[in-house]
Structure formats: C-alpha cells, structure tokens
Structure 1
Amino acid sequence: MKKLLLSFLAFGSLSAFSQSQPDNTYELGAKINEMTLTNAGTLIAATNDGLVGISAANSQPLFNFTDYGAIKTEEMEFVPLSPYVIVAQGGGKGAMAGLSALTGTKRAIIDHVSGRVIFKTDDLGWKQVYTFDVILPQNKLVISGLQKEGSMAEKNTAKVAVYDLSGGKMDYSFFLNEPGKTTAKYFAVTGKPLLLKSSLIIPTTQGLISKDHSGKTLWENKMKDISWMVSDKTEKEIYAFEPVNNGSNTRIHKVGSNGAELWKDDRKVKGTISNFEILDKGLAIVSDQSGGTGGVIGKKNESNIAFMSATNGEDLWEKAPKTKGYVQHFYVMDDGILFGIYEGGINKISFEGETLFKKPLKTGENIQIMAETPQGLIYITNEDANIVDLKTGDQVWDKPLKYKNAAAVASAYDAKNSRYLIGADDEIFAVDENTGNVSEFGKVKFDEKEQPDHMELRDNGVYLSSSQNMALYNFDGDEAYHEYYKSPTNSGIMKIASGVVAVASTALAMASAYKAGANKTSFGSSNNLRNYNEYGKEAKRAADMFAGIADASFAIMSQRYKATSATENDQFILTKLDDGAGLVKVNKDTGKVEKEILLKDKKPEYKVDDIGGVLYYQADNNTVYAYDLTR
C-alpha cells in the first residue's frame, strides 16, 4: 500500500513527497546474490534458487527460473540488442576463439521481456553442447552438440540444429558426418556459424560446410578451425577468420558462394581483428596485439591498421600508418579512414594510402569525443579540446583549449550562442565555435571534490551534475543554484553507485553488437562519424532493427528505444535523509526536491531505470521493492 508523507527536508526549506512504502513488493523466496537491469527495463535477480525477472508493470515476477539452481555471473550471457539472456549449468570461458563465452551441458534462453523460457536443451534431448549462438536479426539459434534421440550411432555423432526463437520450433538439423561411419577425423564446430539468406555455413575442425535451409549439403571445403565469418552484401563473397599462435595472430581467407577459395594465399595479420569493414575500394582492418603485461587496454597494447585488396588480399598501402598505441576511434569517411589513438593522436589516411592530414594531430590522452560539426572535427580528451579541418587536419581554433588531466570532462553545445561549453578542472570554458576564442563561463566547486561528469542545455540554462552535486547556470554564466547531497557514508564508495544508472547505454550496446564478428553485415556498419549534436542516432537504428523482427518482445523493445526518458527532467541522488539513507528526486530546472524515498541502508543495492522511471531496491536478502519515480 502506498503511503505518502509530506515532510520538510533538512537540506532545504521546501516541501516534497516522502515515500517509505514501495509501489510493488516482490518476495523472491531465496537469497539475492546479484541484480542486473537489462536494456529492456527488466530487473533480473540472481538468487540461491535461480533467476527471477521483475518488471514494475507487473505485481508478480515475470519469471522464476529455478531449473538449474543458483546461476553465477559467468553462467549468464545477455545477448546484445535482444530480449534474451542465456543461462548455462556450469561456467568458464570457451576454449576456442569465436565460441560462446559460456560452457556447460545444460543451456536455456529466457525472454526477459515476456518472461518465457523459449529454449531448454534438456527438454529437447541435448545431452552435450559444443556451440550455442543466437543469430540476429534473423532471430535464430544455431546449436551444435550431441542429442539423445536416434540410434546409438546418432547419439554419438555431432549434430547441428537451427531453431526459430520466435516460436521456439526447430527449422532443420543435420549431422556433421555420417552416423556410424568409421573415420579418424574428428568433427566439431570451431566458431560461430554464418547464417545467409539461403544457406548456413558451419566452421568445423575438418573445414567449412555449407547447408541449405533444409539441411542439405551445398558444398564443403578444407578451411579448418575458422572462428568467425562475414559476407559482403551480395553474399557471394565470404571472409573467414582463423586464429593462429593461440589467437595472437589471425589469418584471413576469402571464399566464394560455391566454397572455392578466391585468394591464392590467405593473408596474415598481427593480433586479433577488432574491426573489419568491406568497402567499395578494399578491406579496412584494425587488429590489436598485446604489447606486454598489465592488462590495461591502451597502455600495453598496440593496434595495426591495414587496407587490403578484396580481389587478391594484397596490401593496397605501401606503408601502413603507425599507431603507437590502441585505436580508440575508427571511422570510414568518403575520402579515407579517420582514426584516433587512446594514448593521444588523430590522423586520416586516404584509401590509396596517402596521409590526408598535413601531419598527425597531437592530442591529449583518452579521446572521449570525436564528432563532426559544421566547422570540422571536434575532439575532447582528458587534457585538451579543439576543432580541426577534416580535410587537412589544420586547427580551426588557433590553439587547443588546454586543461589539467581531468578525471572527468563534461561538454555541451549552446546553439543559441554558437559556442561549445566544456567543463574541466573546476571551470567551465566557453569556446566560440567559429573563432575558437575561449572565455571563462563559470567556476565550479562541487563538494566531496567531485568533478562534473554530465552537462546539458536546459531551456533556462546550463545544467551540470556529478554523483552528489548538481548545479544550474544561466546563459551568462551566473550560478542559478548549486545543490549538494552528502554521501550516506563518509567514504567515496557510494559515488560510483549513486545517480541515475544509464540502463539504455545504446552506444555501448551497439558497439558491442557491431564489433567485428559473424553476421555483422546483417546490421550494417557502425563506423560512421556522428554529428556532435545528433543524439539518438544509435537508438533509432536499434529501434528500427527491433521493429523488423516479427516478435512481440522485439516490438516492445523498439518502442522503448524510441521513448523519451520518463525522468529526463530529474536527477536522482543517494544521500542522507533525516531518518537514514535515501534517494532524492531533484528537478534539474529548479534544484528543488520533488520526492524522497527512504531506504535507510547506508550501502543500498539498487537500480534506477531512467527510461521507465522506476527504482528497484533490494530491501533485504529475499525482497525487492519497486518505486514509481514519475509521480
């Protein structure tokens, strides 16, 4: 039952609704070990009994999957850009590159939007699973392993099956070799299959096998141990990737639609391929190789960039550009390839191998933003910012805006005043977009030594925020308000957990889905330089893809990705209230607290769905509360 109390908060002479009772209570019946908020808005709680799915739109859990008992983090895989979570009995990483990260005899797929268990290996007689791949946007599952049904010979012969995930029914299946046939050859799937319009290509230990959509063999070749494949738009040219030297290098093969090798010799690149683009003029490739110990991407690794002929695989550039670090940004332009290095530096090279910038552009470390503007390419790093001519690399601003190595940098574009606003090192700089003239817009002094990590333009000013602070400046740079809400603990531990959780981090999801891998061409290229002010482009692309899949859960996700955040005008901060720790809902335009939710726990486990406007809070070991944040 809802209980709303009117109270005066200690940190302001204002009235706000104080809510102590949740809108929904979910008793899960087992100890909660972990909570995950999916990009579809479903909260998934891993308990000692299994997985429980919760949606605030329902008073009861969507599902309670207990078939496999407690599920560890490494036994769950959330399929990017989908309503699916894969669970496995057992854990660990796949031993071969290209295989699913999950291992285990039992597998299940749960649709966390509808709550349906749409696939379970033990229900369908799979006694052992070798590979298990969800293929989108076709919405299919390709599984390989051993199945219990059939003769003894069939039970012990590796089998591949394709299932339609919309209906959960099998489309077709086939054996990798003839059951009962004596052979010294070991048949197993070595990577992710490539699902095309009229065929399925399976990489195996004995070569590639192509089947039509009834399971009939179309062709075979001896290209062994391929981990993933990608085709051109016509599906007549297929590129296959083979990890060598324990995955430290990669061989690239080209195959025709009849299985014939189209290159006289395969091509070897150093490292693991992280980006592969099929372009009209050739093949653009980025590969990353380990340069030492430490495990910090961008610090101990180095990337290689190559451009190869699609006809014969030969290098089209006489001399590949030196990166001297990790390729953090990679964009295909009309006249060439633009790239930015984590350690600092931006360059552009034509498809013919000519350097288009007069000289490599020196920048600070960690290029947070590279985006197109009417004046050129804007870049913002931990140390500097500038706009440069995309054709020549010349500085548009006479000199870059420099600041100390900031822990956080926030920026926004003020269209009415034709300027960029950049916040770093307790100061907001205003940079004229045309001249590059820099002026001081305002000073920032956030409590607990926080740096603003978010900036946005509001109708009445410029809004900045961090974990415990929020402020608004009018367009002249005068502070309209600054509100600070003390952390529930004396340490800075809660800084990471507090604030709105960006559950729909679409750009991240898209980057994951578009990273070099099987069926990439089904989604199209993600290596397009975005416009600085072009918000929602990735979200729209995801929504359009969802809408093209004939499944109710994808339709719901499509609508969610098109939706405006239910809490776009509010900031949520975990702080100390009179009666204990709680979450405050603060209006961005006024700085006034509109709602407080008492949680009491100084280190609460909670998730905020900012699109749906819901707070999920773990009230005790077995219970989750849901609060409506929109009221």
Structure 2
Amino acid sequence: MRQFKINTVLMAILFMVNSVKAQKIDAPENTYDLGASINQMTLTVAGTLVVATNDGLVGIKPDTNQLLFNFTDYGKVKPEELNFVPMSPYVMVGQTGFANLSSKKAVIDHISGKVLFTTESKGWKNVFTCDVMMPQNKLVVSGFQKGGGKAENVTPKVGVYDLATGNLDYEFFLTKPGKVTMKYFAVTGTPMLLKDKLLIPTSQGIIAKSKTGETLWENKVKNVNWMTCNDSETDIYAFEATANGKNTRIYKLDGNGTEVWKEERKVKGNVTNFEILPQGLAVVSDVAGGSGALGAKAESKITMFSAATGDDLWEKAPKTKGYVQHFYVQDDGILFGIYSGGINKISFDGNTLFKKPLKTGENIMLMAETPQGLIYITSEDANIVDLKTGEQVWSKPLKYKRAVSVASTFDEKNNRYLIAADGKIMAIDANSGDVSDFAKCNFSEKEYPNIMEMRNAGVFLSSDQNMTLIDFDGDENYHAYYKSPGRSTFGKIVGGALAVASTAMTMAMSAKAGANRSAFGSINDLDSYNETGKQAKRAADMFAGIASASFDYLSTRFRATAATENAQFILTNLEGGAGLVKVDKDSGKIEKEIMLKDKKPEYEVDELGGYLFYKSDDKTIMSYNLKS
C-alpha cells in the first residue's frame, strides 16, 4: 500500500485552517414559532417539513417565513396517527375514538398546504376505510355519512373524491336505505378503482359500481382484504386472509364478477408478492414460525398457479429455508434471494436453472445486473454470478467480517468494482475477477462506510462522521473526521437520490404484493448496478403522468440535480457548541458552519432542495439555506 500524501499532523492543521475560513452561519434564514410542543418532524419527498405537535399538524416550506399549513382540527397529533402516502404529495391524519366507534380522517397536500378532505367537513362518521388511489389521484372513503334522513345515516356508503381539487366525484350506498335486512355490510379491505368501475370488498361479497353509483354486479366472495388485476382488467384476483392469519385464500373473477376457478386457492401465510405472468401466477407468501416440535418453519413459500384453472403448476416448490428478501421476474424464470442467505433461480415450469443453490452470507443488501452477471453484496460476502447457471464469475466470493453496511461502486475508467469492508477498499477487475487491495479505509468511531461514489479526482467514501477521497492509484487525498457530539433523536441526513429509492419501496403490504401495482410500476424488475439516477427519473416520469400542480412540482424536483451533490453534512463539535459543517467532497474543505449548540440536536437536511431544518427548542423550528 502506498504511503499517504499528507500525514496526520499536517491534515489536522489543514482542516483547522479550513474551519477558520469557512462561512459561519449563526442566524437562520427563517424561524417558525409553532406555538405548541413538537412531537415529531418528518421530511417529505417534496422537501416540506411536516411537524406533529400537541396542537395539530404543521407544514413548513423553508423558502418562506410563513407556515404552509397549521392543521389544528384534531388537536394533538401522535406520530402513529400519520400516514405519508408513498411517492405522493399527501399526508393522511387518522384518529380513532373510544372502542373504534368513531374515527377522524384528514388528507392534506403537503406541497400546496391545502386540506383536501376531512371526515367532518364532508359529513362522514364511523369511517371503515379511507384510501388514496394512484395513479388515478382519487380518495375512496367508506362508512356512514350524516346529512340525510334517519335511514341514510345508518346505511353504509362510499364516496370518491378528486384529490386534485378535493371535490366529490360520486357517491353511493352499499344497500338501499331503509331496506330491512339481517345482513351487515362493512367494507373489509382496500377498494380497487378500475377504468370504468369501482370494486368494493364487503362482509357480504364484492360489489362493482359504475362511476354514477349504479350496481354493475355483485358476488358472494366475502371479507376480501385487497385485489389486483391484469392490464386489460378482465382478470381480477381477490385475497382474503383467514381468521387465524395462518393462510390466504385467492379467488379469480372475470370482468363480470363471476368466479373463474372451481374453488379458491389457499396458500400458507400472508401473500407478500403476487405477479401476473404469461406463464401463470407467481405467489410469495410468508409463514410465521410455529411453536413446538411440529410448528411451521418461519420461511417464505413460492408457488406458481395456472391463471386459467388455479392449479399448482409445480410438482415441487423451491426450498427457501428463510424469508424471501429479493424477488425478480426475468425472461427465463424467477430469481430470488433469501434474507438468511442464499440465491436461486427457477424456471416458469418449476425446474431449477442454477446448477445448485448459491450459498451467500446473511442479509443480501444488493442484487443487481451488471455486464458480467448478477452482483450480490451481503453483510458477509460479495460476488458476481452467471444469471443463467448461477456459476461464480469471480473465482471465489469476496469475504469480509460481518458488516452493518457495505459501500460499493463501479470505476468505469479503470473497469473495476470497488467494495469497502474490513477497513479497506478492494478492487475487483471486471474482466478477470482478480481481487486486489486498493486502499486502506479506517474510519474513526468504528463506523462502516455507507456511501461510495466516483468523483473526477478519485473515489469518495463516507459515513456519518468520516469522509475521504482516494485517488485512482490508491493514495489518500484527504481524510476528514469530525467527532460526533452525541447521537440525535431524529437527526439524520436524508440523501436526495437515496431518499428516492427508499421512499419508493416504503409501501403498504398490499401494494408490495400487487395491489394498485400501476401506481408504482413493477417492483419485481432487477435493476442495473449503480442506476440510482434512473430511479429518480422513473419517479419523475410517474409524477409527470398525474394531472396536478403538486405532482408537477414533484416531477420537477426529482429531475433536478441535488442542490448539495458536491458536499456532505456532518454533525460535530464546533467552537461554542455542536453544529453542522458542510464539507466539500473533492477538497475536504469546510464550506459552511451552522451553529446548533445542542449536544443532541434534532434536525433534518433536504439534500435535493438544499435546506436544513433545526428544532431550536420545544416549539420552534429554524431553516437554513445550504445552497449559497
């Protein structure tokens, strides 16, 4: 290994000088007095800070000195009462009354600040369900609504609202008001909005309604939790978890609501992934471990059903011996990775495509496609394997001590993969697979590197308190370390591109499994290695397809270059107390110092927009502009 170009003493002096020359920011750009104690701060995909307080919910846009909204209708808002609808401008507030006899729901656009819906303003009570539908940009509400006669007030009802305006599109009763019946109608799961109809799962069956509220059909498939369909909406699949939660029943319906299969299909556990394929229906279900010698193993089951008959197409299902962490559909079959270790691939007719299951370390952090094959990185090892056969491309896996995180990237200029683990960066030649030690990487406070990226001058690597730049020969240009003043409760850096990837995958279980899949695109496509930017573009394109000023804003934001792409923000001790430093990635020089004083400050950094939000006291938020 080459000697460092700058010794430790010289570096310490250099960074002291840099710190002195850095721009010091003592005063915030804007200060917001919320007037109530802060319970939680959340930075949204739009760059708006949403704050739950003892008085309600507050929205802050950092480029103005006025609150974006201050929703106090429901009083104190607890963190668990908030639902941020993934990849959208909406936050939903939900509060339930005593014994679940009454409930309150509100939907707020955290970009425009508009309160689009509240159960009170629209006359709703005892709400069964309240679901945002994407990409239709609608809100579907079910329950009882006040305002009619005595019979109407106690008859279950469904309303559909346009979230672009907050106005009612249409509404209808599930049964005729005043009709005497012993049947109890309750909405049991998430409705499904199709091109020309709305399907509502109820305790008495699924009901299909037109956009004028006319009943198109109804059936006896009761207590369905969620539904999905093929692109043409001719094949509808409904899922019902059994009362004990140990199994899931799957029903297939045609476009008229008639059951296609002679009887429903039952799978063990809860369905966590469902893919409609030309070859059949791929189903992944998770089985919780049982107690006793005969208890079920905690593992995932993978099944392929015939779409026509519901018959199991595989004589022998692939063994998982753990929970499926990765699941990808490819041209020749299904590729999957197990959390406890192991990767395998099976053809659509049930034959194993890999010569033998690939053994890997635990926690597969990454599976991605490269020109050489499938790269996988776990907490213990890494390798590239042939996607057709499962054979190793590298002569043997790259092994390292168990790591909480592993940073990696591809050095296109030198045609090599770089992986940081065990206090060093290892280089793997893309053609030969030969492994060599590229550089040392010993981060203080026993931190694991979690970011690696290519810069013009070399390889940038960082963690919470450390950052370094290594030139292409393996020599260290600089290593900056800033001691942590103490761990913050909420303090964290939300990287722009990283936030895109993580937020896109933060979905409800039904959405992950397949419900409303069109809102997100397929989540079962294997990504190419290092294509974070493509993920951001896909998100921007999705936003652009929804007619709304707020979605236009999101599309523009996700297409923009991160305002702070050339700097990293680190919380450390400054002269006078704790603060945040903005450090240039290429030079290692401190460009800005923002004094926060608290040893455990609560803050959020929006790297896409270039703003810092800081909770200066129990009722006050300050914003700082990090761009200039």
Matched, 1:221 2:219: yes
Matched, 1:304 2:310: no
Alpha-carbon offset, residue 10 of structure 1: 9.8
Contact 1:232 1:521 in 2 (8 A): no
- Counterpart selection for 1:602 from 582, 585, 599: 599
Q: Distance in 2 between matches of 1:104 and 1:571?
A: 47
Matches within 5 A, 1:50-449: 50-90=56-96, 105-292=103-290, 301-449=298-446
Alpha-carbon offset, residue 170 of structure 1: 1.1
Q: Distance in 2 between matches of 1:495 and 1:351?
A: 47
Alpha-carbon offset, residue 127 of structure 1: 2.2
The residue number in structure 2 matching 1:27 is 33
Contact 1:571 1:588 in 2 (8 A): yes
2:130 is matched by which residue type in structure 1? F
1:506 is matched by which residue type in structure 2? V
Distance 1:496 1:111, change over 3 A: closer
Alpha-carbon offset, residue 522 of structure 1: 4.8
Alpha-carbon offset, residue 343 of structure 1: 0.7
Distance 1:260 1:182, change over 3 A: same
2:78 is matched by which residue type in structure 1? K
Q: Distance in 2 between matches of 1:181 and 1:214?
A: 21
Q: Distance in 2 between matches of 1:559 and 1:259?
A: 41
Secondary structure, in 3 states, of the residue corresponding to 2:22?
Answer: strand
RMSD over aligned Cα atoms: 2.0
Matched, 1:582 2:579: yes
Contact 1:37 1:503 in 2 (8 A): no
Deviations along 1:515-548, whole A, 9 cap, x unmatched? 1143224543111111103222332222112111
Number of equivalenced pairs: 608
1:129 is matched by which residue type in structure 2? V
Distance 1:499 1:229, change over 3 A: closer
Alpha-carbon offset, residue 283 of structure 1: 0.6
- Counterpart selection for 2:620 from 614, 619, 623: 623
The residue number in structure 2 matching 1:41 is 47
Alpha-carbon offset, residue 495 of structure 1: 10
Alpha-carbon offset, residue 89 of structure 1: 2.8
Alpha-carbon offset, residue 93 of structure 1: 12
Q: Distance in 2 between matches of 1:504 and 1:535?
A: 8
2:151 is matched by which residue type in structure 1? A
Deviations along 1:247-278, whole A, 9 cap, x unmatched? 22100000011111000111000111111000
Q: Distance in 1 between matches of 2:102 and 2:413?
A: 57
- Counterpart selection for 1:545 from 531, 542, 545: 542
Structure 1: 5+ residue stretches without partners:
1-7, 95-102, 294-298
Q: Distance in 1 between matches of 2:563 and 2:13?
A: 24
Alpha-carbon offset, residue 301 of structure 1: 3.3
Contact 2:493 2:606 in 1 (8 A): no
The residue number in structure 2 matching 1:296 is none
Contact 1:586 1:594 in 2 (8 A): yes
Q: TM-score scaled by structure 2?
A: 0.94
Matched, 1:13 2:17: yes
Alpha-carbon offset, residue 149 of structure 1: 1.3
Distance 1:495 1:216, change over 3 A: closer
Contact 2:89 2:550 in 1 (8 A): yes
Secondary structure, in 3 states, of the residue corresponding to 1:190?
Answer: coil
The residue number in structure 2 matching 1:98 is none
Secondary structure, in 3 states, of the residue corresponding to 1:559?
Answer: helix
Secondary structure, in 3 states, of the residue corresponding to 1:328?
Answer: strand
Q: Distance in 2 between matches of 1:303 and 1:212?
A: 38
Contact 2:491 2:601 in 1 (8 A): no
2:17 is matched by which residue type in structure 1? S
Contact 1:132 1:143 in 2 (8 A): yes
Contact 1:487 1:495 in 2 (8 A): no
- Counterpart selection for 1:612 from 609, 612, 624: 609
Matched, 1:508 2:502: yes
Distance 1:496 1:200, change over 3 A: closer
Q: Distance in 2 between matches of 1:9 and 1:624?
A: 35
The residue number in structure 1 matching 2:4 is none
Distance 1:607 1:128, change over 3 A: same
Q: Distance in 2 between matches of 1:250 and 1:57?
A: 49
Structure 2: 5+ residue stretches without partners:
1-11
Contact 1:467 1:495 in 2 (8 A): no
| Structure 1 stretch displaced more, 515-524 or 419-428 | 515-524
Contact 1:375 1:396 in 2 (8 A): yes
Contact 1:501 1:607 in 2 (8 A): no
Percent identity between the two aligned chains: 62
Deviations along 1:540-565, whole A, 9 cap, x unmatched? 22211211111100110111111211
Contact 2:497 2:536 in 1 (8 A): no
Q: Distance in 2 between matches of 1:522 and 1:383?
A: 35
Q: Distance in 2 between matches of 1:521 and 1:615?
A: 34
Contact 2:496 2:562 in 1 (8 A): no
Matched, 1:524 2:530: no
Q: Distance in 2 between matches of 1:70 and 1:260?
A: 47
Alpha-carbon offset, residue 598 of structure 1: 0.4
Distance 1:628 1:93, change over 3 A: farther
Q: TM-score scaled by structure 1?
A: 0.93
The residue number in structure 1 matching 2:481 is 484
Q: Distance in 1 between matches of 2:593 and 2:298?
A: 46
Contact 1:326 1:342 in 2 (8 A): yes
Alpha-carbon offset, residue 38 of structure 1: 0.7
Q: Distance in 2 between matches of 1:91 and 1:541?
A: 40
Secondary structure, in 3 states, of the residue corresponding to 2:315?
Answer: coil
Secondary structure, in 3 states, of the residue corresponding to 1:355?
Answer: coil
Q: Distance in 1 between matches of 2:563 and 2:268?
A: 47
Contact 1:231 1:521 in 2 (8 A): no
| Structure 1 stretch displaced more, 9-18 or 620-629 | 9-18
Distance 1:36 1:59, change over 3 A: same
Alpha-carbon offset, residue 451 of structure 1: 1.7
